[in-house]
Structure 1
Amino acid sequence: MATLKEKTAKGFLWGAMNNGAMQILNMIFGVVLGRLLSKEDYGLIGMMVIFTSIAAALQDSGFVTALTNRKNATHRDYNSVFWFNIGVSIGLYYLFFLGAPLLSRFYDEPLLTPLFRYYSLCFLAASFSIVPRAMLFKQLRQKELAIISTVSLLVSGVVGVSMAFAGIAYWGLATQSFVYTLMVSAMSWVISGWRPSLEITMQPVREMFGFSSRMLLTNIFQQVNNNIFAVVLGKMYSKSEVGIYNQANKWNTMGTSVITGMVQGVAQPAFVEIGDDRERLCRAFSKMLRFTCIVSFPVCFGLALVAPEFITILITEKWLPSAYLMQTLCIGGAFLPISALYYNMVISRGKSNIYMWNIICQGIVMLSTILAIHFLGGDVTDMVRAYVAVIIIWTAIWHYFVWREIGFGALQAVRDILPFAAMAGMAMALAHKITDGMGNIYMLLVAKIAIAVVIYLAFVWLFSRKDMRECMAFLRKKK
């Protein structure tokens, strides 16, 4: 029987492999689609993302997290949540189908009515996978989740690219998302082995509703926070500008998702299993925080360093404006996995109310700041900088609540975070300085990456050798 430490370590490894493989596939398909499709095609999809993301949060209703926190979840619990989610999803799709013309009028874009009705099928299909995936997540079966995600992305990516080659454009992007959710649902049923029964009772749903309702409201605001730019730009700017931002955010998200996915895959269930031992929780949290930082800062700062060359080579110079937005987004992106670790600790302690109000306040501050900058005459770049500043500042706010819950001190957090941020920042600055003036864009990209990696690893070996050795020992052990 594997220990919690072994399951957590294995979960981290499979989470890294899963998210790494997914981002490689995303990059390959993104390159092809970015070359074939226009800014307007991506802009149309970007206008809908926030609404379908909110629908996904409503569909989940927070019960996945509630089931994970439930110490001895039974088939009755899972079955109740399954049928509840199916009913909610059918109702939501009906509302979205009827409300599609309103979305078209909001953006003054007639094409959105049929496209939104079709795109909304994604969360209807996804409703069938929520309970099987919740069961796999609770059991820390990251290997199975990795297989599901990777195969689904591969199949859906081939479909999306094929449709783009056929000239179907934005319909191909929508179909790619639909096929992905359909594949995830089908494979989750096969791999989990779980099946619903017709003995339906809503009692478990009622028991979990207090916790899950707060998670629901939180998830809605989380999606608003993540997609607020698409709404603001879609309403106040052109489809082309929405497309430029979406490309920048997409490539930034690919970088952050690798680390955030690792954290999300193991943090909450691991913290729940540790229980109320505050000293052990602090040790586990500190180790996870250092492991997160040792990867997050070089990956995200490195993406910022190579963004112009990366974008130009992969999806042509027409997308170069998105590279400069991407550089700013990547700075904030480095802190997202850290925030994810913090709020997973809060959730694992059963404090969904703290998680809810913190996300709501963050969303209000973000929206207010963005709108204020817009009405004061700032451009999109100014708005992105403000957005990133709020993300970074909110890391400190998350820390306060973790300190209150388990006593994890601010000084310890600084010791865990600051060295890796400083080493990554210095490595990227030196790499930029050394390669300044190189003319060949391909050589420049390779040189920046190689020099930054060597300098960063040298810094870590000199100043944080213990953490590096722990990471290497872990990787050798799990191979």
Structure 2
Amino acid sequence: MPEKTLKEKTAKGLMWGTISNGAQLVLGTLFGIFLARILSPSDYGMVGLLTVFSQIASVLQDSGFRTALANRREIVHEDYNAVFWFNVGTSCVMYLLLFFLAPLITEFYQHSDAAANQDLSELTPLARFSFLGFVIASLGTAHYAYLFRTLQVKQKAIITVISLTTSSTIGLTMALKGYAYWGLATQGIAFTTCNTILFWYFSKWRPTLPVSFHPLKEMFGFSSKLLANDICNNINGNILSVMLGRFYAVHDVGLYNQANKWTSMVSTMVLGTIKDVAQPVLRNVETERERHKRVFRKMLRFNAFMVFPALFGLALISRELILITVTEKWLDCVPLMQILCAGAFTVPIQYLCANLVITKERSDLVLWNTVGMGLTQISAIFFSYPYGIHTMVCVYTAINIAWLTIWFYFVHREIGLRLWEAVLDLFPYAALAALAMVVTAFVTSPIENIYLLLGLKIFIAALLYGGLMWLFGSVTFKECISYLLNKKRAR
């Protein structure tokens, strides 16, 4: 792919990724506020208890073949077709298995001191209903891979916005009708269904019969490592909910999930701006070591430019945000949110590092790195749970931050990027974002009206951060502004 074309596709992908995730942030926030006002922490906790099981099942039915499709140098119809039918068949088998295991999941959570005074009788039917989501999702995995591989970011942005609006409306309506956590579960099913339908609409590819599974053999060595890696990632991301559900009350799970939802919304927004372009773009330059390193560092700086002010800003306004949006009943989640904000910047950076290693066809390195981090997290959380929820979240966050050094070690092995170079790419944005937030907190400290305080914090922090970026001559900042103003193409 020519240099100019690659830059244009990357810039366009980043632009549509930003638009899409900005829209998701706005819509998700608005609908999330209404739902949180209607529902209780226990309602969110009931759904949160099942998240890890449904996500692992979803990963198993995909088996890493979707990413393998995107990473193949040459691809034909038979490749998509084999993955499609394999995913559909596997998801049906997984659903039947989980359908009969649902009572055991309920029993796992009931056998704890915290569950003694809780009614978990509806957890089994809720699980059986929620698990339908990954069966429906399997019908669109190959189509998603087609859109992903061809960098159709605009179409994916449209799909996400439509699906989010439709499913959130359904969930909100059911919550208003008194269906509580059933509304949250239905919202998830509706989102997946809309996604799948629209993937088919926008994708040109269609499955056919008969089917040959021979292409899967060629992809298995690569995809099997990604499968194990994705399972570990899902366990790592949901281990706190599982541990809280086992040792604490459902109410506490709901508080954590609410805090994690706000934090994840921000980190996912940043991740989404690069998610649809990182692997295809890095794949196109992986044969040129210096260019590979240059493109990676540019994406790393863009990540830092976006994620640090967003998360530090969320921590700054967390108390006012919770009080105004979802009311005082959720106030206990504020300290958890602030702790999570300190470490959530690692999510898009880890994703970027993993994708770089994957483009070098070293999915084994990604797997063992993820396994190591997961085992460390599980061990640390298990030994820290007697000291309280806040200690568990602090330990979890600290491990995520420290593990970046391991990720950058693997990046160094593949493209020669030294740790100090990565730190130089990240630190200025983190330092300037933190400075902007500290100054904002000091300036606004005398203000007591929470509405005025929230507005001023956002305005002053954004003004200060933008001013600091301009003062210190941030190239990333100038390129983003120039691209948005159509004065020059993004480089």
Q: TM-score range by the shorter chain?
A: over 0.9
Structure 1 runs not aligned, ≥5 long: none
Measure how far apart 1:275 and its partner are: 2.8
1:331–1:388 Cα contact (<8 Å) kept: yes
Measure how far apart 1:476 and its partner are: 2.3
Query: Please, what TM-score do these two structures have when normalized by structure 2?
Result: 0.95
- Greater than 6 Å deviation, 4+ residue runs: none
Measure how far apart 1:33 and its partner are: 0.4
Superposition RMSD in Å: 1.2
Distance (whole Å) between structure 1 residues aligned to residue 149 and residue 128 of structure 2 = 33
Distance (whole Å) between structure 1 residues aligned to residue 51 and residue 189 of structure 2 = 13
Distance (whole Å) between structure 2 residues aligned to residue 468 and residue 330 of structure 1 = 22
Measure how far apart 1:474 and its partner are: 2.1
2:40 is matched with: 38
Measure how far apart 1:140 and its partner are: 0.8
Distance (whole Å) between structure 2 residues aligned to residue 466 and residue 263 of structure 1 = 18
Task: List aligned pairs for 1:300-315, cutoff 5 A.
Answer: 300-315=311-326
Pairing 1:172–2:183 present: yes
1:184 is matched with: 195
- 1:388 pairs, out of 397, 417, 431, with 397
1:462 is matched with: 471
Query: Please, what TM-score do these two structures have when normalized by structure 1?
Result: 0.98
Pairing 1:135–2:146 present: yes
Distance (whole Å) between structure 2 residues aligned to residue 196 and residue 450 of structure 1 = 50
2:456 is matched with: 447
Task: List aligned pairs for 1:178-257, cutoff 5 A.
Answer: 178-257=189-268
Distance (whole Å) between structure 2 residues aligned to residue 461 and residue 77 of structure 1 = 48
1:289–1:341 Cα contact (<8 Å) kept: yes
1:42–1:246 Cα contact (<8 Å) kept: yes
2:114 is matched with: none
Distance (whole Å) between structure 1 residues aligned to residue 242 and residue 474 of structure 2 = 45
- 1:51 pairs, out of 45, 50, 53, with 53
Task: List aligned pairs for 1:42-441, cutoff 5 A.
Answer: 42-108=44-110, 109-374=120-385, 377-441=386-450
CA displacement, residues 206-249 of structure 1 (integer Å, 9 cap, x when unaligned): 11011101100100010001101110000000010000000000
1:29–1:157 Cα contact (<8 Å) kept: yes
1:256–1:300 Cα contact (<8 Å) kept: yes
Letter in 1 for 2:151: L
Measure how far apart 1:335 and its partner are: 2.2
1:476 is matched with: 485
Distance (whole Å) between structure 1 residues aligned to residue 347 and residue 193 of structure 2 = 28
- Bigger mean CA offset, 83-92 vs 464-473: 464-473
Structure 2 runs not aligned, ≥5 long: 111-119
Q: Percent identity?
A: 45
CA displacement, residues 304-330 of structure 1 (integer Å, 9 cap, x when unaligned): 110010011000010011111001101
Distance (whole Å) between structure 2 residues aligned to residue 122 and residue 269 of structure 1 = 27
